[in-house]
């Protein structure tokens, strides 16, 4: 295993190993290790920002796949 630096995007502190997630891709299970900021408050903010970003992305893809009904302008 190689060591990678993975600094926090907010404070630049070296991230620590956090939760381990298992995601199912096809018939395989993939282990996903989450790295979190050692500063709890900072990590909270980072997560909130990330969630907001994801939401925006999701909203965009939703808009692309499901066109909103056209409003009659007259």
The 41-70 contact track toward Zn ion, x by CB under 5 A, reads: -x----------------------------
Q: Of the two residues 35 and 42, which places its CB atom closer to Zn ion in the complex?
A: 42
CA gap 35, 9 in Å, rounded: 12
Cβ neighbour number for residue 45 with a 10 Å cutoff: 13
Reported as half-sphere exposure (CB side, CA atoms, 13 A), residue 8 has a value of 22
By CB under 5 A, tell whether 15 contacts Zn ion: no
By CB under 5 A, tell whether 35 contacts Zn ion: no
Q: Of the two residues 12 and 69, which places its CB atom closer to Zn ion in the complex?
A: 12
Give Cα 58 distance to the centre of its chain: 11
Q: Of the two residues 13 and 56, which places its CB atom closer to Zn ion in the complex?
A: 13
Q: Is the dihedral of CA 22, 25, 29, 33 positive or negative?
A: negative
Name the residues that contact Zn ion, by CB under 5 A.
Answer: 8, 10-11, 37, 39, 42
């Amino acid at each position: 295993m190689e060591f990678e630096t993975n600094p926090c995007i907010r404070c630049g502190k070296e991230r620590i190993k956090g939760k381990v997630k298992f995601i199912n891709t096809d018939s395989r299970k993939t282990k996903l290790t989450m790295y979190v900021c050692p500063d709890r408050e900072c990590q909270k903010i980072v997560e909130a920002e990330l969630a907001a970003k994801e939401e925006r992305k999701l909203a965009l893809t939703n808009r692309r796949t499901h066109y909103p009904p056209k409003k009659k302008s007259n």
